[in-house]
Amino acid sequence: MVLLPPLVTLPAREAVRFGADAIDYAGLAGSARATAARLSGHARVAVWATPSLHTCLAVVGALAAGVAVVPVNPKIGERELAHIVADSAPELVLAAPEVELPGALAELPGALAELPRLHVDPEVRAAGEWPVEPDPESPAFIVYTSGTTGPPKGVLLPRRAIAANLDALAEAWEWTSADTVVHGLPLFHVHGLILGVLGPLRLGGGVWHLGRFESGAVAAALGSGATMMFGVPTMYHRLVADCEADPALAKAIGGARLLVSGSAALPATDHARLSAATGQQVVERYGMTETLMNCSVRAAGDRRPGAVGRPVDGVDLRLVDDDGLVVHEGIGEIEVRGPNLFLGYLNRPDATADAMRDGWFRTGDMAIRDADGYVRIVGRRATDLIKSGGYKIGAGEIENALLEHPGVAEAAVTGEPDPDLGERIVAWVVAEGAPPAADELADHVARLLAPHKRPRVVRYLDALPRNELGKVTKRALG
């Protein structure tokens, strides 16, 4: 199995564009061969995953070498970075020479500064044979994802899962080499990196990355050759408002072949508003870092608001009750199995065992099925997982970070509905002495963990509500 066949067959077309930086398939293959030669003998590398051509070249080079990539959020905070580097033990870090660094840092932060650093010069290319394809079961990526408590877990994603899942999505979306995907998603998660970059590259199509999401830039790309857009619901929410205000923008968006939303539920109101403004009905798909994509509405299928379609090719899906018994009618937890599944959590056999039941992966997502098999996600088993802007965030990690602030005696974190972000992070704080300013607590969490994990609202209480066992009763908050 070759993960990226177009790098061997070399279609005569541009592969990747980031602003003014672009590279065709021959250039990408030449760069990947040169990087693979430099990485040979290594097992694991970190990539400082800025939204740039450099990240794309570094990842494709590492994949060619069979070296597992740990993508790192370039806005990562110090506590989270220390955990990821200690847990994944990368041997090198690949970062562009001029990178965006948090604060006024001159060097890569924390433990990354101590690793040998490599940068991929797009002009340095090697000719010759394509490197021998690694074992399909070998890990291609270790992607960190939050749980309800503790620090994020490293999800080991094998090459087999990526190839199988991208092929299933190509089938579902009638996605071919004729397509160019436009997006502004971060490149340290499955959505932006695996679907949004490797997807086009597996098919021999194109990807235009916008650096950051902006409605006008999406419209300009769709007006000049891009055919598909990928985004999280927050991006569609913003796009809808912009389309309603600007008919020319709405017309450009209306010209897309396919708009795909995922990472969180797309509100039915935004689906309907976008359809009214542009004539486009967004196709929704449902996935997880551990499973890649499980379900999707098909390009030729019924685009029902609030539904994520049927399982994609190769994926088995069932709904189970609290005892693990299959539910045929009504709500159940989604369990999936198939070639899309991860290998396990790095260094966490306990968490891996907990996540599996008889070969099925327990997603923690609650759903019902329409009579024709369409899946509707209705909630999540754990209230301590928050989806904000499409990012999964554990309440526990934020609570721990807040407790490290000298002005915080007790803290509980919840998610509250938010029209833009889906959910916003709310911190409930019992202060130690004079209550710290809300911004100060937000900055503190952003510095330790990541800016997207910062509380958007801070509420002060004299005491947290607790049950007779002393456990915080989060349902009593709000």
Binding site for ligand MCA (CB under 6 A): 75, 185-186, 189-192, 213, 232, 234-235, 262-263, 287-289, 389-391, 442-443, 446, 451-452, 454
Which of 75/357 has CB closer to ligand MCA? 75
**For tokens 């709000």, what's the residue?**
478
Nearer to ligand AMP, 415 or 436 (CB): 415
Restricted to residues 179-208, the positions that interact with ligand AMP (CB under 6 A) are 190
Q: Nearest-CA neighbor of 42 among 129, 112, 138?
A: 138
Task: Report the candidate in 348, 379, 349 with the shortest Cα–Cα distance to residue 364.
Answer: 379
By CB under 6 A, the residues from 354 to 383 that bind ligand AMP are 363, 365, 377, 380
- CB < 8 Å & 24+ apart, contacts of 97-105: 99/48, 99/50, 99/74, 100/50, 100/74, 101/74, 102/74, 102/75, 102/76, 102/77
The reply to whether 278 sits near ligand AMP by the rule CB under 6 A is no
* Among 413, 398, 397, 408, CA closest to 474: 413
Q: Please give the residue whose beta carbon sits closest to ligand MCA in the complex.
A: 389
How many other CB atoms are there within 10 angstroms of residue 136's CB atom?
Answer: 17
| Cβ nearer to ligand MCA, comparing 23 with 76 | 76
Q: Does 145 bind ligand AMP (CB under 6 A)?
A: yes
Per-residue binding string, ligand AMP, 279-318, x by CB under 6 A, is -----xxxxxx------------------x----------
Torsion sign (Cα): 322, 323, 329, 333: positive
| Alpha-carbon gap, residue 448 to 82, rounded angstroms | 10
Contact status, residue 229 vs residue 219, Cβ threshold 8 Å: no
Compare residues 93 and 393 and give the one whose CB is closer to ligand MCA: 393
CB of 311 to ligand MCA, least distance (A): 14
337 binds, among ligand MCA, ligand AMP, none (CB under 5 to 8 A by kind): none
Of 32 and 68, CB closest to ligand MCA: 68
CB of 315 to ligand AMP, least distance (A): 14
* String marking each residue 79-118 x if it binds ligand AMP according to CB under 6 A: ----------------------------------------
Whose Cβ is closer to ligand MCA: residue 186's or residue 415's?
A: 186
